[in-house]
C-alpha cells in the first residue's frame, strides 16, 4: 500500500494483463459476524485483508471470540449466540459493515458496550436502526448527536410480538443489520416491515444468501419480488457451514472493468482479465458489467472470471438508474469523462451517507478535471471536458434529472474524442474515501496526457490495500512519461540517503546505481565466472538479467539480501574490475533503464543525469564540500569502531573526486540543466525538503 501524502500517476496509454481480486468487503464482514454468532468452527478462505475487516476481527476478539489468521484464511470459533464478554468498548473506524450489524447484535444480546469510530462515522446516520431496535425493547443511548454514533448499549427488555418497522430509503445496512442479528432471539416468528422504497437491494440479497449458508432461511411472505416484509422463522439457529469461500469484490472489479473499456490494449494482449468474480457472483455490483456494455465495452463473463476489451470509442453516454449498483456506479462517473456526450447517473441518494457525501465529492473532483457537472439530490449529470458548450444546447432545467439520453446528447458533429485542450489536471481530494481514490486513478488515461495526483492514497486500505500496485501491474505508458529524479554527486555527499528518502516520500522506485557494479561482481562470482576480459560476454549477459531490488534500505539479489555482502573491501575491488569491462558497462545501462517503472523513479549516482537519464524531469547535483563529507564519513567509521582521521579521509575523498572527474567514460560533473544543491550544512531532512520543493516546481498541480 502507498503510505504517502499523495501519489502522482503519470499519463497512461494502455493496459493488458490479469488481475486477482481481493475478497469482497461486504461478504467478508457479514461472514465474520455470522461465523462468530454460530456454534462450531468456521474456516473462512479468501478473506479480504483491509481496514474494515481488521476492525471487525478486533471487535470479535474483544467479545471473546477465538480467531486464528493465516494469510487470507481465518478460523473462527463461534460464540453460539452469546457474547463471552458482556462489557467492551469497541472502536470500529469508518466501517459501516461493522458498526450497523454489531449495534443490532449487541443490543439483542445485552450487556454494556460502547461503539465509536472515526469522525466521519459519527456523521453517518444510524437513527433508523436504533429506532427499530428500540421497538424491540433494546436499550441504546447516543453519546453524541441524536441519530448518530457513538452509542452506548445496555441490556433491555425485549418484546417480539409486534412487527419491526425500519426505513429502507436511507441505507440498506439497517435492514441487513436486523436480518443478521434477529435469529439470536427468534423464539417466535419475527416480522420486519420496510418503510419506504428499499435502496441498494443487491446488498440485502447478499445478506439473505449468506444467512442461508449459515442455516437461516428468511421468508418473504409477499413474494420474492416484494421487498417490504421479511420474516425470521421461529427457532432459527445459526449453523456453521464449516468452510466458506469469499468471492472477489465486485465493486473493486468495476475499476478494472472500466480500465479495459477505456484503455487500448497492446498487441498480443487480450484486454484485462479479472479472476475471482464472474457471472455467478452473489454481489449486486456484478451488474456493473451491464452498464459497461451499454457504454461500449466488450465483456466476456465466465462463472468466476471476466475478460474486458475496449469496444466503442469514445465510450457511449448513458442515462442510468444506478440503485442496483450503488458503489460501482461511482466508477461510471469517471468513465463518463470519456463518453461521447453527457451521462446521467440517477437514484444514487445513498451516496450522501457513505464514507463521505459522494455526490458532492464526485461533482467537485470531476469539475477539477474540466467536466461540467450538474448535481441533484439523487443524481449527477456529467458532461465530458471539451463537450461543455456543445452539450449546453440540450441541457435540462436546473433541478431536474434527464430521463432521456437524446434530450441532452451532443450534436452529431460534436460527437468526437474529447478535446485535448479542455482537460485539466488537479490534486484529487479523496475525502478519506477509498472509492474516490480508486475511481479517479482512471483519469490518468486523459487524451491530454496529463498526470493525476491522488491525495491520501492510503485510504484504499479500507477495501483494497494493494489497489495501486495492482493497477500499475497491468497498465502501460511510454518511458518518457514516467518521471525520473536524478540525484548525483561525489562520494560521501549523502546522495544515496537523500534519494532513498525522496523515493519513499513520493512512492517512487529507488535505484542505487553505485551498488550495481558490486552486485554484478557478486553475481559473477556466485556463478563461477572469473572477473576477467575472457568472461566479459558472459558477465554482460548475466548483468542484463540481474533480479535486483532496493527495498526499505536493503538491497536484494533475487531473494538474497546482499546489503552487507557487497560493502566489503573485496566486493569493492571486484566492482572496480567489473567496471573496466565495456560490455558490462553497456549491459548495466540497459538494466538501470529498466528501473524506470510506474509511478516514477529516484536514481542516485555520479552519471544519472548526464548519461543514464538525460531526459529526467529533475536533476540534482549535491555540492557538499570535501571537508564536510570527510567529517560525516569520520563519524560513520568511528561509530563502527574503525580508526580514521578526518584529514586522511578528506585527502582520500579529494583524490577520488579528481579521478571521477577526469575519467573518460561518464566523468563526474553536473548535467547542464542540473540544480546545484550545496548540502554542506544541511541535514538529510533539510536536503530532502529542498529536493521535494524543487520537484513540486516541475509538477503541473
- SS3 for 674-694, per residue? CEEECCCCCCHHHHHHHHHHH
Give yes or no for a contact between 251 and 327, defined as CB atoms under 8 angstroms apart: yes
Residues labelled catalytic: 327
What local confidence, expressed as pLDDT, does residue 398 receive? 41
CB-count burial class (<10 Å; 0-12, 13-18, 19+) for 225: exposed
What local confidence, expressed as pLDDT, does residue 489 receive? 94
Is the per-residue pLDDT at 157 higher than 70? Answer: yes
Is the per-residue pLDDT at 553 higher than 80? Answer: yes
Q: Report the C-alpha gap between 279 and 288 in whole angstroms.
A: 11
Is the per-residue pLDDT at 389 higher than 50? Answer: no
Instruction: Give the mean model confidence (pLDDT) for residues 498-520.
Output: 96
Give yes or no for a contact between 286 and 250, defined as CB atoms under 8 angstroms apart: yes
Q: Report the C-alpha gap between 96 and 357 in whole angstroms.
A: 14
What local confidence, expressed as pLDDT, does residue 580 receive? 84
What local confidence, expressed as pLDDT, does residue 397 receive? 41
Q: Which of 55-69, 256-270, 477-491, 526-540 has the lowest mean pLDDT?
A: 256-270
Sequential DSSP letters for 292-353: HHHTT-EEEEETTEEEEE--SSSBPP-EEE-TTSTTTHHHHHHHGGGBSS-EEEES-GGGGG
Of the candidates 453, 294, 447, 315, the residue with the CA atom closest to the CA atom of residue 385:
447
What local confidence, expressed as pLDDT, does residue 579 receive? 84
Give yes or no for a contact between 202 and 325, defined as CB atoms under 8 angstroms apart: yes
Q: With H, G, I as helix, E, B as strand and everything else as coil, classify residue 81.
A: coil
Average model confidence (pLDDT) across the chain: 92
Q: Which of 40-44, 86-90, 344-348, 664-668 has the lowest mean pLDDT?
A: 664-668
Q: Which residue has the higher pLDDT, 639 or 319?
A: 319
Query: Edge-to-edge strands of the sheet including 6-9?
Result: 6-9, 452-455, 427-428
What local confidence, expressed as pLDDT, does residue 207 receive? 97
- Bridge-based pairing of strands 379-383 and 372-375 is antiparallel
What local confidence, expressed as pLDDT, does residue 99 receive? 97
Question: Count of residues for the chain?
Answer: 701
- Bridge-based pairing of strands 484-488 and 601-605 is parallel
- Please give the grid coordinates belonging to residue 379: 443524481
Is the per-residue pLDDT at 435 higher than 80? Answer: yes
Q: Estimate the crossing angle of helix 96-109 against helix 25-37, to 10 degrees.
A: 20
Instruction: Give the mean model confidence (pLDDT) for residues 499-515.
Output: 96
Q: Report the C-alpha gap between 616 and 118 in whole angstroms.
A: 41
Q: Work out the percent of the chain whose per-residue pLDDT is above 70.
A: 95
What local confidence, expressed as pLDDT, does residue 575 receive? 86
Q: With H, G, I as helix, E, B as strand and everything else as coil, classify residue 657.
A: helix
Is the per-residue pLDDT at 148 higher than 80? Answer: yes
What local confidence, expressed as pLDDT, does residue 388 receive? 64
pTM of the predicted model as reported, rounded to 2 decimal places: 0.89
- Bridge-based pairing of strands 560-561 and 601-605 is unpaired
What local confidence, expressed as pLDDT, does residue 390 receive? 53
State the number of CA atoms in the 13 A half-sphere of 490 facing the CB. Answer: 26
Q: Report the C-alpha gap between 182 and 179 in whole angstroms.
A: 6
Domains recognised in the chain with CATH numbers: 6-21+248-479 (3.65.10.10), 26-245 (3.65.10.10), 481-696 (3.40.50.300)
How confident is residue 393, by pLDDT bands cut at 50, 70 and 90? very low
Task: For Cα atoms 348, 351, 355, give the angle at the middle one, nearest 5 degrees.
Answer: 165
What local confidence, expressed as pLDDT, does residue 589 receive? 94
Q: Which of 69-78, 545-554, 616-625, 635-644 has the lowest mean pLDDT?
A: 635-644
What local confidence, expressed as pLDDT, does residue 159 receive? 93
Of the candidates 1, 3, 5, 12, the residue with the CA atom closest to the CA atom of residue 452:
12
Looking at the DSSP bridge assignments, the partners of residue 7 are 454
pLDDT tens for 554-599 read: 999 999 999 999 988 788 889 888 888 999 999 999 999 999 999 9
Instruction: Give the mean model confidence (pLDDT) for residues 46-56.
Output: 96
What local confidence, expressed as pLDDT, does residue 407 receive? 38
Distance (Å) of CA 37 to CA 41, 79, 83, 115, 498: 11, 5, 9, 18, 52
Give yes or no for a contact between 573 and 554, defined as CB atoms under 8 angstroms apart: no
Is the per-residue pLDDT at 357 higher than 90? Answer: yes
Is the per-residue pLDDT at 266 higher than 60? Answer: yes
Q: Which of 30-39, 99-108, 436-445, 659-668 has the lowest mean pLDDT?
A: 659-668
Torsion of CA 159, 165, 168, 173, to 10 degrees: 0
How confident is residue 667, by pLDDT bands cut at 50, 70 and 90? confident
CB-count burial class (<10 Å; 0-12, 13-18, 19+) for 146: exposed
Instruction: Give the mean model confidence (pLDDT) for residues 158-163.
Output: 92
How confident is residue 404, by pLDDT bands cut at 50, 70 and 90? very low
List, in order, residues 6 or more apart from 544 with CB less than 8 Å away: 587, 590, 591
Instruction: Give the mean model confidence (pLDDT) for residues 344-348.
Output: 97
Q: Which residue has the higher pLDDT, 643 or 609?
A: 609
Amino acid at each position: 500500500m502507498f503510505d504517502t501524502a499523495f501519489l502522482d500517476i503519470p499519463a497512461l496509454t494502455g493496459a493488458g494483463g490479469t488481475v486477482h481480486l481481493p475478497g469482497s468487503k461486504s461478504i467478508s464482514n457479514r461472514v465474520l459476524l455470522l461465523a462468530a454468532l454460530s456454534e462450531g468452527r468456521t474456516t473462512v478462505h479468501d478473506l479480504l485483508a483491509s481496514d474494515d475487516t481488521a476492525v471487525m476481527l478486533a471487535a470479535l476478539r474483544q467479545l471473546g471470540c477465538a480467531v486464528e489468521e493465516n494469510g487470507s484464511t481465518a478460523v473462527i470459533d463461534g460464540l453460539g449466540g452469546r457474547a463471552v464478554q458482556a462489557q467492551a468498548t469497541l472502536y470500529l473506524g469508518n466501517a459501516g459493515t461493522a458498526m450497523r450489524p454489531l449495534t443490532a447484535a449487541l443490543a439483542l444480546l445485552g450487556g454494556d458496550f460502547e461503539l465509536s469510530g472515526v469522525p466521519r462515522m459519527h456523521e453517518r446516520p444510524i437513527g433508523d436502526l436504533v429506532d427499530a431496535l428500540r421497538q424491540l425493547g433494546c436499550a441504546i443511548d447516543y453519546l453524541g448527536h441524536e441519530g448518530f454514533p457513538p452509542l452506548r448499549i445496555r441490556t433491555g427488555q425485549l418484546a417480539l410480538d409486534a412487527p419491526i418497522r425500519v426505513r429502507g430509503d436511507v441505507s440498506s445496512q439497517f435492514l441487513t443489520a436486523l436480518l443478521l442479528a434477529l435469529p439470536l432471539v427468534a423464539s417466535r416468528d419475527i416480522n420486519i416491515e420496510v418503510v419506504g422504497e428499499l435502496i441498494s437491494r443487491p446488498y440485502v440479497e447478499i445478506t439473505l444468501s449468506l444467512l442461508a449458508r449459515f442455516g437461516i432461511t428468511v421468508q418473504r411472505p409477499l413474494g420474492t419480488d416484494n421487498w417490504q416484509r421479511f420474516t425470521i422463522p421461529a427457532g432459527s439457529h445459526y449453523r456453521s457451514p464449516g468452510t466458506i469461500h469469499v468471492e472477489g469484490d465486485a465493486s473493486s472489479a468495476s475499476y478494472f472493468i472500466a480500465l479495459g473499456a477505456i484503455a487500448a490494449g497492446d498487441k498480443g494482449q487480450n484486454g484485462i482479465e479479472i479472476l475471482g468474480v464472474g457471472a455467478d457472483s452473489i454481489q449486486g455490483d456484478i451488474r456493473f458489467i451491464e452498464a459497461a456494455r451499454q457504454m461500449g465495452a466488450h465483456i466476456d463473463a465466465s462463472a468466476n472470471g471476466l475478460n474486458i476489451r475496449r469496444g466503442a470509442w469514445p465510450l457511449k453516454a448513458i442515462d442510468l438508474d444506478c440503485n442496483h449498483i450503488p458503489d460501482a456506479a461511482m466508477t461510471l462517473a469517471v468513465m463518463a469523462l470519456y463518453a461521447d456526450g453527457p451521462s446521467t447517473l440517477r437514484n444514487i441518494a445513498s451516496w450522501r451517507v457513505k464514507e463521505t457525501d459522494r455526490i458532492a465529492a464526485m461533482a467537485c473532483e470531476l469539475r477539477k478535471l474540466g467536466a461540467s457537472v450538474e448535481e441533484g439530490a439523487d443524481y449527477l449529470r456529467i458532461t465530458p471536458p471539451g463537450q461543455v458548450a456543445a452539450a449546453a444546447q440540450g441541457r435540462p432545467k436546473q433541478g431536474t434529472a434527464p430521463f432521456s439520453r437524446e434530450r441532452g446528447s451532443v450534436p452529431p458533429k460534436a460527437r468526437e474524442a474529447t478535446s485535448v485542450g479542455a482537460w485539466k489536471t488537479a490534486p484529487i481530494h479523496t475525502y478519506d474515501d477509498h472509492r474516490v481514490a480508486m475511481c479517479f486513478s482512471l483519469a490518468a488515461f486523459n487524451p491530454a496526457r496529463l498526470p493525476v495526483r491522488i491525495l491520501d492514497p492510503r485510504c484504499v486500505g479500507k477495501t483494497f490495500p494493494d489497489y495501486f500496485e495492482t493497477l500499475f501491474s497491468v497498465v502501460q505508458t511510454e518511458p518518457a512519461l514516467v518521471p525520473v529524479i536524478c540525484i548525483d554527486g561525489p562520494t560521501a555527499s549523502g546522495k544515496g540517503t537523500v534519494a532513498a528518502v525522496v523515493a519513499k516520500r513520493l512512492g517512487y522506485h529507488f535505484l542505487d546505481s553505485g551498488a550495481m557494479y558490486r552486485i554484478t561482481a557478486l553475481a559473477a562470482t556466485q556463478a563461477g565466472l572469473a572477473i576477467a576480459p575472457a568472461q566479459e560476454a558472459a558477465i554482460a549477459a548475466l548483468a542484463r538479467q540481474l533480479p535486483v531490488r532496493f527495498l526499505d534500505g536493503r538491497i536484494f539479489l533475487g531473494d538474497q539480501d546482499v546489503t552487507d555482502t557487497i560493502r566489503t573491501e573485496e566486493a569493492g575491488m571486484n566492482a572496480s574490475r567489473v567496471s573496466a569491462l565495456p560490455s558490462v558497462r553497456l549491459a548495466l545501462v540497459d538494466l538501470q533503464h529498466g528501473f524506470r517503472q510506474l509511478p516514477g523513479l529516484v536514481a542516485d549516482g555520479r552519471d544519472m543525469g548526464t548519461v543514464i537519464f538525460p531526459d529526467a524531469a529533475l536533476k540534482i547535483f549535491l555540492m557538499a564540500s570535501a571537508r564536510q563529507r570527510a567529517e560525516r564519513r569520520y563519524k560513520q567509521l568511528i561509530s563502527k569502531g574503525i580508526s580514521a582521521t578526518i584529514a586522511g579521509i578528506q585527502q582520500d575523498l579529494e583524490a577520488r573526486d579528481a579521478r571521477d572527474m577526469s575519467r573518460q567514460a561518464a566523468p563526474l560533473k553536473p548535467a547542464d540543466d542540473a540544480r546545484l544543491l550545496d548540502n554542506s550544512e544541511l541535514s538529510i531532512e533539510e536536503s530532502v525538503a529542498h529536493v521535494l520543493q524543487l520537484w513540486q516546481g516541475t509538477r503541473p498541480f
